[in-house]
């Protein structure tokens, strides 16, 4: 069984920072792209940022310059460093991993989500 476990969410003031780690565990053979998505109340889930196994990154326009995605391949962990937070960043943040496991082959896995609330 493969699991993605996020942490690091919470309540922060406007302009503050948070760091979200997401660790993948289980019968993992290889991890391709990892990413972060978010879903605000009443809205669809949207891409925040992705990072490939080679380190190439992609960001939503709304977070570019404020958020940084990185990964530690040895730890099967992806991080999202969020700076200069705004009220519109308030959402549940989900980790995603495109990976190959010995139990299920290649597929996407999602974490359970972590709440980020930015107060004004």
Contact residues for 14 (Cβ-Cβ < 8 A; gap 6+): 85, 86, 87, 118, 119, 120
Looking up tokens 């990976």, which residue turns up? 99
The per-residue pLDDT for 15 is: 98
In the structure, what pLDDT confidence band is assigned to residue 12 with cuts at 50, 70 and 90? very high
User: pLDDT per residue over 62-99, tens digit each?
Assistant: 999 999 999 999 999 999 999 999 999 999 999 999 99
Among the listed residues 1, 3, 6, 2, the one whose alpha carbon sits nearest the alpha carbon of residue 78: 6
């Amino acid at each position: 069984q493969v699991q993605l476990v996020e942490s690091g969410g919470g309540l922060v003031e406007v302009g503050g920072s948070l760091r979200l780690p997401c660790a993948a565990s289980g019968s993992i053979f290889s991890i391709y792209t990892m990413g972060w998505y978010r879903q605000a109340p009443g809205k669809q889930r949207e891409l925040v940022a992705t990072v490939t196994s080679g380190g190439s990154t992609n960001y939503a326009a709304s977070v570019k310059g404020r958020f940084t995605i990185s990964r530690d391949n040895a730890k099967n962990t992806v991080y999202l460093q969020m700076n200069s937070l705004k009220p519109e960043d308030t959402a549940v943040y989900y980790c995603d991993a495109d990976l190959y496991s010995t139990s299920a082959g290649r597929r996407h896995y999602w974490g359970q989500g972590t709440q980020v609330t930015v107060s004004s």
